Chain A
């Protein structure tokens, strides 16, 4: 059996959760096994139909006001109880901050092997082998499990979302929840949303990133306009973040976020090894840089050697025309 931990926020399933549900179904089919989901939160019962559409045979739901925001201990306890009941072979979750915080807790609690940031897996008879990057993407490792369940957290944007609704009538099991004394000692007081209507960096199909070449914060308005035309997220190099031009949450690289979009545009970014660590698994890379020897060109599928201040405005106008036409 494959257990998928689905994650919702603000009443909606998150994209990495959809990817995990989709892959959970596919994996279960390969194993000839059932796929079961668990969803935790407040008001998440409204999502049961949608979750069921991913072909889940059974759904566990813990719906409580206390669980409105992520609570590491409480969430881990609930999932561990489901694991104890169902004895899954594999437990999957999307690679969000929550997934990467929660799954290690559950793994050590129930005693299963843990593999985060998976970009693939192999099924070998009775064994699962996880494939994942390590050392900031400089190597790919194959991880074997000696203790099951195998806990796997999936890198966002790697596993496709199943668009076809698989119609099954899932069995629904409600989990009654009461916080423990210790759990009451930790609460999330508030959740503040900080994105300006743009997709989240780690989940975006397209990322437009700027570096020191942008010269100052105000010039990022140009990249934001470009991003909005493409439906993209805006990223930044560490140099742009450390200069105070962009928030920490925008940084791509070894000490920032890892992104795997379909298209990554590096504008005024040299392509230092620590930056590449965060974006070299992008499907396509486009670079705009005035230095023909900038290392970013070594990894770019399409490079423009030139002044970004001349090229980006032309690109914006061109994309506007494109939009008007379609």
Chain B
């Protein structure tokens, strides 16, 4: 059985966002492998180490920096990468992204070759949490998103999905999409030899014409939504800060809760 992981390059979690006019200023952003994708790759690699999976493919769509995200995944232990890069892709929304990723996946043999499709629950830049479900829908297969446990048994899987106030235990037949969250596993820190080895692993590159996708089906033109404007959220102001005897500061807090926050 083979597994495929879809990974994305995203701004570092420490990033402070700056705007130029009402557009995003990307000049000083550092990029990392999306933390949620790390859980996905780690899970696939563990399934390989457990002898359940014999190949882990990594697919990423994005500008040249997506190569680094793929290399990070290869350093965790994935076997090879696919990088879809094309200037026309700039401005693509989740629906276009899902369609392009599906075409690349099909080019690699699709569901005939890969039965376990792993994703991060969310990419921490767009925060749409939608590409995994969209790809499952396009492929006509089930999906279990937000998983904290994944057991594979022959062509069946038991996946535990965290929902508000509890957990749903899904039983599914493969092929299936799984979207990982924190708690599924503890991603390893790749060793230096693994990082060196990752540099030699193959990465196949596709443009959209390699995938048979016309340029007007992607990017801003092909998308169903467009970002019209970026603004910064209202800056929070530091409010009142008190120090002193517990009884006295608690009294002031009670006053705040009653008169300002209105909750008691």
Which residues of A line the B interface, CB within 8 A?
A: 14, 69-70, 72-73, 76, 96-98, 100-105, 107-109, 111-117, 129, 133-147, 182, 185-195, 200-203, 205-206, 230, 248-249, 251, 254-256, 262-263, 273-274, 277, 280-281, 283-286, 292, 297-306, 310-311, 314-315, 318-319, 322
* Cβ-defined contact, B35 with A255, below 8 A: yes
Most chain B CB within 10 A, of A139, A146, A190, A319, is at A139
Within 8 Å of chain A (Cβ to Cβ): is B192?
A: no
CA distance A187 to B169 in the complex (A): 8
The smallest beta-carbon distance between A164 and chain B, in angstroms, is 21
* Cβ-defined contact, A97 with B236, below 8 A: no
* Cβ-defined contact, B263 with A108, below 8 A: no
The smallest beta-carbon distance between B161 and chain A, in angstroms, is 7
Assuming A189-B170, A300-B239, A302-B253, what are 17 further A-B pairs, CB within 8 angstroms? A97-B145, A101-B146, A104-B94, A113-B224, A114-B95, A114-B130, A139-B230, A139-B233, A144-B227, A145-B225, A182-B142, A186-B176, A190-B169, A201-B164, A230-B264, A302-B242, A318-B250
Residue on B with the closest CB to A122?
B228
* Cβ-defined contact, B224 with A284, below 8 A: no
The smallest beta-carbon distance between A119 and chain B, in angstroms, is 10
Chain B contact residues, majority secondary structure: mixed
* Cβ-defined contact, A139 with B239, below 8 A: no
* Cβ-defined contact, B225 with A100, below 8 A: no
The smallest beta-carbon distance between A64 and chain B, in angstroms, is 18
* Cβ-defined contact, A311 with B246, below 8 A: yes
Within 8 Å of chain A (Cβ to Cβ): is B129?
A: yes
CB contacts under 8 Å to A, within B225-264, are 225-233, 236, 238-244, 246-247, 249-254, 256-257, 260-261, 263-264
The smallest beta-carbon distance between B202 and chain A, in angstroms, is 31
* Cβ-defined contact, A186 with B170, below 8 A: yes
- Known contacts A108-B138, A191-B168, A302-B240: A135-B263 contact under CB 8 Å: no
Find B246's partner among A191, A263, A306 (CB 8 Å cutoff): A306
* Cβ-defined contact, B94 with A147, below 8 A: no
Please count the residue pairs between chain A and chain B whose beta carbons lie under 8 angstroms apart in the complex: 270
* Cβ-defined contact, B143 with A72, below 8 A: yes
CA distance A108 to B125 in the complex (A): 21
CA distance A287 to B137 in the complex (A): 44
CA distance A230 to B171 in the complex (A): 38
Contact with A along B106-121 (1 / 0, CB 8 A): 0000000000000000
* Cβ-defined contact, B136 with A105, below 8 A: yes
Find A143's partner among B16, B228, B232, B233 (CB 8 Å cutoff): B228
Contact with A along B63-102 (1 / 0, CB 8 A): 0000000000000000000000000000001110010000
Q: In the complex, which residues of chain B have a beta carbon less than 8 angstroms from the beta carbon of A285?
A: 236
Which residues of B line the A interface, CB within 8 A?
A: 11, 13-17, 19, 24, 35-36, 93-95, 98, 124-131, 133-134, 136-138, 140-143, 145-146, 148, 158, 161-173, 176, 181-183, 223-233, 236, 238-244, 246-247, 249-254, 256-257, 260-261, 263-264
* Cβ-defined contact, A97 with B165, below 8 A: no
Find B225's partner among A115, A138, A249 (CB 8 Å cutoff): A115
Most chain B CB within 10 A, of A69, A135, A189, A262, is at A135
Q: In the complex, which residues of chain B have a beta carbon less than 8 angstroms from the beta carbon of A298?
A: 236, 238
Q: Which 6 A-B pairs have the closest CB atoms?
A: A104-B130, A248-B183, A113-B224, A301-B239, A186-B142, A185-B173
Q: In the complex, which residues of chain A have a beta carbon less than 8 angstroms from the beta carbon of B127?
A: 116-117, 133-136
Q: In the complex, which residues of chain B have a beta carbon less than 8 angstroms from the beta carbon of A193?
A: 165-166
Residue on B with the closest CB to A261?
B263
